[in-house]
Structure 1
Amino acid sequence: MIDWLIFIPACFALNLAFGPNNLLSMTHGAKKGVVFAGQAAVGRLIVFVPMIVLSALGLGLVLTASATVFNVVKVVGAIYLIWLGISLWRSAKALDPRAIDGRVTTLRRAFAAEALVAMSNPKAILIFAAFFPQFVAVEAYWQSYALLGAAFLAMEAVAILAYAGLGRVASTFASGRLPMLQRISGGMMCLFGALLLVSPTPTRS
């Protein structure tokens, strides 16, 4: 039996943790609104679904155990985050509320950004490969894994809307300071990229 009283608050705390994907939702919310940010973040949720399935199949353990595979994913994700951060910083000069990476922000680009960042998210790998198994009911393995995955995605959606709303509120009360907010976002993206480059390979221990 799944211990929901422990899983839900612990997992939701992980969902709400400040990271590159949540920063993207906050930035999208500030520039294009909560609905746009929510639609873009579907890219993140779609990526998480196969990651949950692979973890259930045991491949999450393989990924956490393989330094080579993890490091390739990590480097690609870090380079993308740094590139996105630099683009955000440089585009702040344009003062165009539609721009997030030096070009007009379209739903397609925002969707792709969410998906690409999610793919290289070591936090997600650890959650699915190391956190979920602690709550799986052995007697109903697949059913419990599916329920845990569904609960995680639901709470992730709530976190997405919370960060998007935060970004929207910030832009409303500081509309004249959007360039500064964009530079801060860009700097944070570069920082996340740098931290990702030096992060250790996750393990189940």
Structure 2
Amino acid sequence: MLTPEQCMAFLAAAMLITLSPGPDNLMVLSLGIARGRKHGMAFGLGCALGCLSHTLLAVAGISALLAASAQAFMALKIAGGLYLVWLGLQALRSKGSQWQAQQQGGERGLMALFGKGLLVNAINPKVILFFLAFLPQFIITGAGNIGWQTLQLGVLFTLQAALLFGLLGFFSGYAGQWLMTTPRRSMWLDRLAGTIFTALGLRLIFSH
């Protein structure tokens, strides 16, 4: 098992990284404002749980393989970027009714956003490289069982990300409720969210 000192040091670093401005934060924030707190929380929880896939990849060593293969990394990066652009274009084409439809859709709309958040995080190659570089820094080699330590650290990172992203989506939703008083505001907020998603997708595709 991880030592208390190991857990505290890792959690402090993980929370600082999760709270620092980045693509995941922007997407959760924009969805929380545009669609409401439940939708922001659903997407944020999906993003957080997507970290479990990277944890398993890191344990299996597949992340190291992807990092070593320029072709595999490029293909995954383009796929993730195109998916973000597709999400952004959907929001840009909205005329304000998309938010209302998702509100009426209830649990189906929330599950769809949860799945989108899960997929966005799972196919992000930069997160794969981040886990490959970040988790080993907190592994005590003398304690043995490197794979088990890596798995515990990944689960711990996922739990704190789920908490922080959930809170971000919840509180951003309050601002969204105030702004969502007219369909016109809904339309412009969807366009703002779409612009953010599209920009992040293009940045992922063309970044080196």
1:62 aligned partner: 65
1:148 pairs with 2:153? yes
* In 2, Cα distance between equivalents of 1:124 and 1:99: 32
1:187 aligned partner: 195
Is the Cα contact below 8 Å between 1:55 and 1:61 reproduced in 2?
A: yes
* In 1, Cα distance between equivalents of 2:54 and 2:79: 17
Runs of 5+ in structure 2 lacking a partner?
A: none
TM-score, L = length of structure 2: 0.80
Please point out which of 167, 171, 185 is paired with 1:166.
171
Is the Cα contact below 8 Å between 2:58 and 2:150 reproduced in 1?
A: no
SS at match of 2:114: helix
Q: 1:10 to 1:111 in 2, by over 3 A?
A: same
Please point out which of 97, 100, 118 is paired with 1:98.
100
1:120 aligned partner: 123
Deviation at 1:55, TM superposition (A): 0.7
TM-score, L = length of structure 1: 0.81
SS at match of 2:129: helix
* In 1, Cα distance between equivalents of 2:9 and 2:48: 23
Q: Which runs of 4+ in 1 moved over 6 A?
A: none
Runs of 5+ in structure 1 lacking a partner?
A: 201-205
Deviation at 1:5, TM superposition (A): 4.5
Q: 1:42 to 1:88 in 2, by over 3 A?
A: same
Larger fraction in helix: 2
Deviation at 1:34, TM superposition (A): 3.7
How many pairs are equivalent?
197
1:133 aligned partner: 136
Q: 1:39 to 1:172 in 2, by over 3 A?
A: closer
Q: 1:173 to 1:42 in 2, by over 3 A?
A: closer
Alignment deviations for residues 114-158 of structure 1 (CA, whole Å, 9 cap, x no partner): 122112223421221011111111123233223211220111112
* 10-19 or 23-32, which deviates more: 23-32
2:160 corresponds to which letter in structure 1?
Answer: M
Q: CA RMSD in A?
A: 2.7
Deviation at 1:24, TM superposition (A): 3.9
* In 2, Cα distance between equivalents of 1:55 and 1:23: 26
1:13 aligned partner: 16
* In 1, Cα distance between equivalents of 2:88 and 2:10: 33
* In 2, Cα distance between equivalents of 1:125 and 1:106: 28
Alignment deviations for residues 70-110 of structure 1 (CA, whole Å, 9 cap, x no partner): 1111111111111111110111x23453357xx99723321
